[in-house]
A and B are shown apart, each in its own frame.
Chain A
Amino acid sequence: DGGITQSPKYLFRKEGQNVTLSCEQNLNHDAMYWYRQDPGQGLRLIYYSQIVNDFQKGDIAEGYSVSREKKESFPLTVTSAQKNPTAFYLCASSHRGPSNQPQHFGDGTRLSIL
């Protein structure tokens, strides 16, 4: 079955540490996205990529970094510069098109501070 896999499901970060969240899809989608979800805040876009080796900042990119070396993979690194990283992180993918296509989501990674 095609889908998006996020790992790990739970992650703990120590002060000053960088952590990387994995996102893999086998839907043959060109576009991939990272969102942050905080209680009562809805989804906020961190980074997105429409094609391999290209990505754009979203609304809250500070303290995060991404890479897109393969079509299937879009890992997100939460750096030590992100001072409030505790949140639920969601990865999504979609086909590219003249108008936005429905996005398919993984089941998220919950990141907490130790």
Chain B
Amino acid sequence: SQQGEEDPQALSIQEGENATMNCSYKTSINNLQWYRQNSGRGLVHLILIRSNEREKHSGRLRVTLDTSKKSSSLLITASRAADTASYFCATDARGSTLGRLYFGRGTQLTVWP
């Protein structure tokens, strides 16, 4: 399978703490994307990191990519209760049919007030 796999499956933290989620994948990629999904809603794109990039920031989000280990991490700093959601990584596998993204099963993040 070319799917990414997120780790951990579930994460529970207090407000103000940092949350780190990891994604591992199996094939070479063009880019890797992170998405967020609130319960019962659609996914929202958070950040895209290209294979030649190692780190990217967007507000309280920091994404790293290690292509040698085929892994990425998403760090949410100073978490808030509103960050409670599922987070998915999705890979654009090199050589795959244009238009396909492969999604992992997600990490369920719960942030307690």
Contacts and interface: CB of A to CB of B under 8 A. Distances in A.
B98 A96 contact: yes
Interface of A: 4, 6, 31, 33, 35, 40-43, 45, 48, 50, 56, 58, 90, 92, 94, 96, 99-100, 102-108, 110
* B-side interface size class: 20 to 34
Nearest to B47: A102
Interface of B: 3, 30-31, 33, 40-45, 48, 50, 88, 90, 92, 97-101, 103-106
B104 A107 contact: no
25 contacts: A33-B99, A40-B105, A42-B103, A42-B104, A42-B105, A45-B100, A48-B99, A48-B100, A50-B99, A58-B100, A90-B42, A90-B43, A96-B99, A99-B30, A99-B50, A100-B33, A100-B98, A100-B100, A103-B45, A104-B45, A107-B40, A108-B40, A108-B41, A108-B42, A110-B40
